[in-house]
Amino acid sequence: MIVLGIETSCDETGVAIYDSEKGLLVDCLYSQVEIHAQYGGVIPELASRDHIRKTLPLIQEAIKRAKLNTEDIEGVAYTAGPGLIGALLVGGSIGRSLGMGWNVPTIGVHHMEGHLLAPMLESHPPEFPFVALLVSGGHTQLVQVKAIGEYTLLGESLDDAAGESFDKVGKMLGLPYPGGPKVARLSEKGDSDRFHFPRPMTNRPGLDFSFSGLKTFVRNTISDHNDAEGGLDDQTRADIARAFEDAVVATLMIKCRRALEHTGMNTLVIAGGVSANLRLRDGLQSTVEKMRSKLFYAQPKYCTDNGAMIAYAGCQRLLAGQKDDLSIIANPRWPLDTLPAL
């Protein structure tokens, strides 16, 4: 089955075509980062307007690059949530309308299910069941995954998501939006022995997270080390970035170890934008090795938002016979564990 996937939940327009027999045929991405960077974060109205401009041309480009005709598309999948309501409505209106015009089954996909299944696009995909750590700009969740659609939430962030805390710390350190990858780059020059930040909620049982206190710790450390002009020297900035990244990674390592122990599973999958973080990948690799378990993640371009993961997830559901009626679905808040099994 050949499925067109459309992702417009936030600030990337992603369009991809997945073929259940041949794999991913094409993956096109347009990032709005430059538009939002000048405001230091995503402006929802500007995001929706830009998705309106970019989605249809990107679909045309994807079909052309895959050397297909519109008649070859056998299903349409679009991100139906969670995400920004206006942005979701753009992808949903276009996806649902194309599905109706082409007379093919259409399905609204859960964005985090897309992330969770993105490692399936790799040449050595994980096998069910597994524990998934979802770490994006909007979510930090540990999920027990029995099969597609069979999800049990083990724990989640009670406040900021991991990616959100990276972005906020980036802002405090004077880095442009989105701060995550830039904090990671800055931390490479940092000394891990200079500062030690807390590992939130690790000294009590449970699998929930909290990252907002860590953010306050960073803010206080910055103000303690500001010079006479109210700035930080370059080494101190890098040392703070390093201490912050170390604290997030150590916290995620502790919780992932606990989740594997709690479920008795031996496969860990990490997905979402923060799973592109190299120190996190290395840290979790050493965690799973000590537990005789295995770690799986997607290549960096499929960790952050993309159309390929939506085409893949939608294709699995369409192949199982699931499809939507003619409504356009946009669910800004949509719990992952309410999805149907295949």
Residues in contact with ligand KG4 by CB under 6 A are 10, 115, 136-138, 163-164, 166-167, 178-181, 184, 272-274, 276-277, 304-305
Q: What is the nearest approach in angstroms of ligand KG4 to the Cβ of residue 163?
A: 3
Q: What is the nearest approach in angstroms of ligand KG4 to the Cβ of residue 146?
A: 23
Query: Which residue of 305, 313, 317, 324 would you call a contact of Zn ion, by CB under 5 A?
Result: 305
SS3 assignment, position 119: helix
Q: Which does 32 bind (CB under 5 to 8 A by kind): Zn ion, ligand KG4, none?
A: none
* Cis geometry, peptide bond prior to residue 129 (ω within 30 degrees of 0): yes
Cβ–Cβ < 8 Å for 36, 21:
no
Query: What CA–CA distance (Å, rounded) separates 332 from 317?
Result: 21
Q: What is the nearest approach in angstroms of ligand KG4 to the Cβ of residue 311?
A: 16
Query: What CA–CA distance (Å, rounded) separates 318 from 4?
Result: 11
Binding region for Zn ion (CB under 5 A) out of 22-30, 217-225, 243-251, 301-309: 301-309
Q: Which does 5 bind (CB under 5 to 8 A by kind): Zn ion, ligand KG4, none?
A: none
Helix residue spans in the chain (DSSP H): 33-37, 44-65, 85-102, 111-117, 162-172, 179-187, 212-225, 234-263, 278-290, 308-319
SS3 assignment, position 138: coil
CA of 87: how far to CAs of 13, 135, 199, 285, 319, in Å?
9, 21, 35, 35, 27
Q: Which does 178 bind (CB under 5 to 8 A by kind): ligand KG4, Zn ion, none?
A: ligand KG4
Q: Does 11 bind Zn ion (CB under 5 A)?
A: no
Q: Which does 277 bind (CB under 5 to 8 A by kind): Zn ion, ligand KG4, none?
A: ligand KG4
Q: Which does 180 bind (CB under 5 to 8 A by kind): ligand KG4, Zn ion, none?
A: ligand KG4
What is the H or E stretch that residue 140 is in? Answer: strand 140-147
Q: Which does 54 bind (CB under 5 to 8 A by kind): Zn ion, ligand KG4, none?
A: none
Which residue type, as a one-letter code, is found at position 110?
Answer: H
Q: How many CB atoms lie within 10 A of CB 121?
A: 20
Binding region for Zn ion (CB under 5 A) out of 66-74, 131-139, 276-284, 321-329: 131-139
Closer residue to ligand KG4 (CB): 126 or 178: 178
Q: What is the nearest approach in angstroms of Zn ion to the Cβ of residue 77?
A: 15
Total site size for Zn ion, rule CB under 5 A: 2
**315 is written with which tokens?**
């294709």
Q: Which does 181 bind (CB under 5 to 8 A by kind): ligand KG4, Zn ion, none?
A: ligand KG4
Closer residue to Zn ion (CB): 136 or 267: 136
Query: Which residue of 48, 55, 106, 136 would you call a contact of Zn ion, by CB under 5 A?
Result: 136
Binding region for Zn ion (CB under 5 A) out of 53-61, 94-102, 132-140, 164-172: 132-140
Angle at 192 between CA 303 and CA 189, to 5 degrees: 70
Cβ–Cβ < 8 Å for 44, 36:
no
In the complex, which residues of this chain contact Zn ion (CB under 5 A)?
136, 305
